[in-house]
Amino acid sequence: MNILVLNCGSSSVKFQLINTDQQLIELNTDKRLAHGVIERIGGPALVHFSVVNADGSSRSHREAVPLRDHSAAIEKIVQWIISQEANIPGISSYADIAAVGHRVVHGGEELTSSMMITDSVIKQIEDCIDLAPLHNPQNLKGIYAIKKVFGGTAKQVAVFDTAFHHTLPDYAYLYAIPYQFYRRHKIRRYGFHGVSHRYVQYRYRTLVGLERENVNVISIHLGNGCSICAIKAGHSLDTSMGMTPLEGLVMGTRSGDIDPAILEHLSHKEGYSQAEVQSVLNKQSGLLGISGLTNDMRELIAEAVENDDRRAKLAIDVFAYRIKKYIGAYLAAMNGASAVIFTGGIGENSDFVREKIAHGLEWLGLHLDYDRNAATIRGKEGKISQDGSRLEAWVIPTNEELMIARDTFRCVMGLELPR
């Protein structure tokens, strides 16, 4: 079954076309047929598509073309996928794309697993806009656009970033503010990056041959957004992002944890409106805010190492220290774990940052293998701790699109979803 996986942002759409079915899932041989991104939707958009050849190499197509909205961008993607130019084997018409899987950021308390998108599910996703005003409207644009491009009969599935965390116990998800605010406004921790943490959990147990019930690991997703998840007995016990993706670790431009009293203080001192304070915390903080240079970890490391830039170093130190603190907290919350697992652009590629985080954790039983750490970059997966470490360290490149494609296949076929 050919599944189109869509991830819609405010001015971008990322896609993958994945061929999957029950047997391919069991053998872990699902095939990525094409992938790409359209950026700067609403203006002269930048299109970058690739077709994956049978030998794993790829053919790329780039163009700049005006695209007024998400609907136009998605039509462009679908037209290209079925085109002669793309020449994807077995795909020449709309009917060859069996279903569309959407990454949806917030499912609230009700939408706790992947599901077929019906009008009532759309209504529920709309109801969650309040909780994720920056994300859910973009995801919905993709859903409306597919309806428009394929017609009302398109099979669409929503895969929620919050769903993996629906197992959080009440003592982990409640904030210590008056309880009626939880009841009235659903103010609680939801957690995000769930598709990625779930993939890490699945892939780790496949690699080491464990049943899900025996997986006790800390999954650390470090991309532009960053979050950490305590996975106990295969399920999310706690995670650092909260009601929104702003809480927790230091991120590219987001502050993560902060004393809530600072908001009022900042607004008073700088004369900021609430929206301006939110914008500072979401867009001007984190690595960018501390360094004053960039939100890009690769550039920061270059500044720190080659130019000895003090604030670049400080930004990396604050970033790594916060992660280390969370590892300690989660090990205590979980009564111990067997591994910490790095994923996301920084987690997968930066042996430098991983070493900084692991530094000093030998007393916990984490002994990094420096050669393995240096060699496990650019899409490689594997253990980076020394053999015999009581707490292992791993790198597992995330694959959210694969999870979305598989869930979409299962929902369309009416199959049971993995717990």
- Supply the residues annotated as catalytic: 161
* CA dist 166 → 108, 285, 329 (Å): 9, 29, 20
Q: Which of 296, 355, 369, 381 binds ligand ADP (CB under 6 A)?
A: 296
Q: How far is the CB of 221 from ligand ADP (least distance, A)?
A: 8
Nearer of residues 224 and 282 to ligand ADP, judged by Cβ: 224
Using rule CB under 6 A, residue 298 touches ligand ADP: yes
Q: Which stretch binds ligand ADP (CB under 6 A): 28-36, 309-317, 340-348, 387-395?
A: 340-348
Q: Which of 346, 393, 404, 412 binds ligand ADP (CB under 6 A)?
A: 346
74 token code pair: 């998605």
Using rule CB under 6 A, residue 225 touches ligand ADP: yes
Q: Which stretch binds ligand ADP (CB under 6 A): 16-24, 341-349, 355-363, 411-419?
A: 341-349
Using rule CB under 6 A, residue 350 touches ligand ADP: yes
Q: Which stretch binds ligand ADP (CB under 6 A): 28-36, 86-94, 117-125, 295-303?
A: 295-303
- Spatial CA neighbour of 326 closest among 256, 246, 249: 249
Angle between helix 261-270 and helix 274-283 axes, rounded to 10 deg: 110
What does the alpha-carbon distance between residue 38 and residue 65 come to, in Å, rounded to a whole number? 10
Nearer of residues 350 and 376 to ligand ADP, judged by Cβ: 350
Q: Which stretch binds ligand ADP (CB under 6 A): 41-49, 151-159, 291-299, 384-392?
A: 291-299
What does the alpha-carbon distance between residue 312 and residue 333 come to, in Å, rounded to a whole number? 32
Q: How far is the CB of 284 from ligand ADP (least distance, A)?
A: 16
Residues 179-218: x/- map of binding to ligand ADP (CB under 6 A)? Answer: ----------------------------------------
Q: How far is the CB of 301 from ligand ADP (least distance, A)?
A: 6
Q: Which stretch binds ligand ADP (CB under 6 A): 92-100, 175-183, 346-354, 367-375?
A: 346-354
Residues 233-262: x/- map of binding to ligand ADP (CB under 6 A)? Answer: -------------------x----------
Angle between helix 297-306 and helix 351-358 axes, rounded to 10 deg: 80
Q: At 276, is the secondary structure helix, strand, or coil?
A: helix
Q: Find the residue with minimal CB distance to ligand ADP.
A: 345
How big is the CA angle at 250 (ends 259 and 219), to the nearest 5 degrees?
115
Q: How far is the CB of 257 from ligand ADP (least distance, A)?
A: 19
Using rule CB under 6 A, residue 224 touches ligand ADP: yes
Using rule CB under 6 A, residue 376 touches ligand ADP: no
CB–CB of 140/195 below 8 Å?
no
Nearer of residues 256 and 344 to ligand ADP, judged by Cβ: 344
DSSP count for the chain of H helices, then E strands: 16, 14
Task: Write the DSSP string, 315-360.
Answer: HHHHHHHHHHHHHHHHHHHHT--SEEEEEHHHHHH-HHHHHHHHTT
* CA dist 407 → 142, 201, 231, 270, 417 (Å): 18, 16, 20, 47, 7
Q: Which residues pair with 382 in a beta bridge?
A: 395
CB–CB of 220/341 below 8 Å?
yes
Which residues bind to ligand ADP, rule: CB under 6 A? 223-225, 252, 296-298, 301, 344-346, 349-350
